[in-house]
């Protein structure tokens, strides 16, 4: 809850020898929530929960790897000059959301084409349905540690780095003023996307529907949010022709999503029955 409150800084808390970091905790919660929502929808459509869980694990793992690679290559290429290949191998140091999206696509292709051949678009669509519900918590994690500090602002949801409740970690020392908290903004936007998906998900949709819908809904908003990113702090995001890597990724995502939606055959789609019953879910879980 504190992660959603501007002016409040969450630190690292020790449970005995175990450090508890707000970003890691909220990201893990997000993965669990997103997976459970996708699994719930998969059960309603008669899919085997094991296929949903295994595919999601491959997709998430691939997403994290590529998210770090893109962070180093596109956002902070100076790390390659300073540390060489170790900048890539230290996979826990920084993640790009659009790198994660790219990795998710590659992970889905790998899983559904080679690891376990299945109707990839159908299963990936179910996993995408659960994604905004998990992304909401992930972005709250970003907000809790201020991963995406924006420009100075008078907006009431901005983070006050002069009078907020610390302690501030070393990476935030020298940051001053009230600034846009872009992780929080995106988390709030995800609430709307979750509500939209929940409404649209009341019936079966053509495979690829939620993939395309997420792309065309998310990309323009993310494109706009990135204009609020800071340009005056250390490690400010790189720009290519005045746009961030994420903005170029948003353009590609929107085009791909719009093309996918335009290709769907809504009239010819034979909807799967969504006749979920608790006893059926129990038997499916036992079979898994």
Residues 50-90 have pLDDT tens digits of: 999 999 999 999 999 999 999 999 998 888 888 888 999 89
Comparing 69 with 169, the larger pLDDT belongs to 69
DSSP code, position 168: P
pLDDT tens for each residue of 216-245: 999 999 999 999 999 988 778 899 999 999
- Kindly give, in sequence order, each residue whose CB lies less than 8 Å from that of residue 127, ignoring residues fewer than 6 positions away: 38, 52, 55, 56, 59, 108
What radius of gyration do the chain's Cα atoms show?
A: 20
Instruction: Kindly indicate the confidence band of residue 285, based on its pLDDT and cuts at 50, 70 and 90.
Output: very low
Is 80 exceeded by the pLDDT of residue 171? no
pLDDT band at 275 (very low <50, low <70, confident <90, very high): confident
Q: Is the pLDDT of residue 123 over 80?
A: yes
CA distance 112 to 55: 8
Q: 58 with 110: CB under 8 angstroms?
A: yes
Average pLDDT over residues 173-192: 91
Among 109-118, 176-185, 241-250, where is mean pLDDT lowest? 176-185
pLDDT in tens, 4-54: 566 566 667 777 787 788 888 999 999 999 999 999 999 999 999 999 999
pLDDT value for 287: 43
- Whether the per-residue pLDDT at 282 is higher than 50: the answer is no
Element (H, E) at 48: none
Owner of token pair 């201020």:
146
14: left (phi over 0), alpha (psi -120 to 50) or beta: beta
Say what the pLDDT of residue 283 is.
Answer: 43
Whether the predicted model's global pTM rises above the 0.85 cut: yes
Tokens of 230: 């800071």
pLDDT at residue number 166: 57
């Amino acid at each position: 809850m504190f992660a959603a409150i501007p002016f409040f800084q969450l630190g690292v808390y020790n449970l005995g020898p175990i450090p508890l970091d707000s970003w890691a905790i909220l990201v893990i919660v997000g993965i669990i929530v997103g997976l459970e929502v996708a699994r719930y929808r998969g059960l309603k459509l008669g899919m085997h929960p094991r296929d949903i869980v295994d595919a999601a694990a491959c997709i998430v793992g691939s997403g994290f790897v590529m998210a770090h690679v893109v962070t180093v290559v596109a956002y902070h290429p100076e790390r390659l000059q300073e540390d060489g290949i170790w900048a890539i191998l230290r996979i826990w140091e920084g993640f790009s959301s659009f790198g994660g999206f790219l990795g998710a696509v590659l992970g889905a292709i790998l899983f559904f084409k080679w690891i376990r051949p299945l109707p990839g678009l159908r299963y990936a669509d179910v996993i995408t349905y659960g994604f905004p519900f998990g992304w909401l918590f992930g972005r709250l994690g970003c907000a809790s540690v201020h991963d995406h500090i924006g420009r100075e602002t008078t907006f009431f949801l901005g983070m006050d780095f002069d009078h907020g409740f610390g302690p501030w970690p070393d990476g935030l020392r020298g940051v001053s003023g009230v600034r846009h908290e872009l992780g929080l903004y995106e988390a709030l936007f995800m609430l709307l996307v979750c509500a939209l998906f929940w409404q649209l998900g009341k019936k079966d949709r053509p495979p690829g529907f939620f993939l395309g819908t997420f792309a065309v809904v998310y990309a323009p908003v993310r494109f706009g949010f990135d204009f609020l990113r800071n340009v005056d702090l250390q490690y400010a995001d790189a720009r290519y022709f005045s746009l961030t890597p994420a903005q170029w990724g948003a353009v590609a995502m929107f085009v791909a999503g719009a093309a996918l939606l335009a290709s769907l055959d809504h009239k010819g789609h034979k909807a799967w029955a969504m006749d979920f019953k608790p006893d059926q879910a129990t038997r499916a879980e036992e079979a898994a």
